[in-house]
Amino acid sequence: MLVGRKVPEVTFRTRVRDDSIEGPNPFRWENKTSSDYFAGKRVVLFSLPGAFTPTCSTFQLPDFERLFPEFQAEGIDDIYCVSVNDAFVMNAWGKSQNLVNVKLIPDGSGEFTRKMGMLVAKDNLGFGMRSWRYAAVINDGVIEKFFEEEGYADNCETDPYGVSAPQNILENLRAKAAA
Ligand code: BEZ
């Protein structure tokens, strides 16, 4: 049971724009820790099997992006999307999606996902180790709610998506606020 536990403390290797760098690729490495992302705020984190994959690009990421104001109304400060992809891939995906609200976290080595207990093999798709789909409400680094898709398994032939969808999380947040 992950509820009540702190998220793993890891260092993510991000790439950030730096206009002081000349040339066609003005980006530099910037380390960001779990504390940088999670300390002192209440956020939604969602995790998916891969950048640019169909369900993630057509529904999950755009829906979280669009519904951000409704999450804010329920006391959520930020929405993060983590995937076992490197910073170059995650940045390219964010650019292609015109993201403004959702912040992408590159877990290229899979360390965060492994320590969350959510790393699965997707060798059946040629993906290697990736994340099982889940989402969480995290308050000051502590997991408050956890939404895990059913059937956690290596080389799963299906890709369940529903429990970790933004609509389901919003419904849960609203129901608890009304209770
Ligand atoms: C999808 O998002 O549709 C997807 C994710 C992982 C593998 C294949 C498809």
pLDDT for 53? 95
Question: Considering the entire predicted model, what is its pTM?
Answer: 0.96
Residue 57 inside a domain? The answer is yes
Q: Write out residues with Cβ below 6 Å of ligand 1.
A: 49-50, 53-56, 125, 159
Q: What is the mean pLDDT of the chain?
A: 97
Q: If you measure from the C-alpha of residue 150 to the centroid of ligand 1, how many angstroms do you get, rounded to a whole number?
A: 15
Domain that holds residue 53: 11-178
Tell me what the mean pLDDT of segment 36-54 comes to: 97
Q: Which helix (H) or strand (E) holds 174?
A: helix 166-178
Residue 17 inside a domain? The answer is yes
Instruction: Give the domain CATH number at 40.
Output: 3.40.30.10
Number of domains in the chain: 1
Residue 166 inside a domain? The answer is yes
27-50-123 Cα angle (round to 5): 125
pLDDT for 179? 75
Residue 6 inside a domain? The answer is no
CA-nearest residue, atom 2 of ligand 1: 55
H helices within 2-129, ranges in order? 34-38, 54-55, 61-73, 87-96, 111-115
Indicate if the pLDDT at residue 125 is higher than 90.
Answer: yes
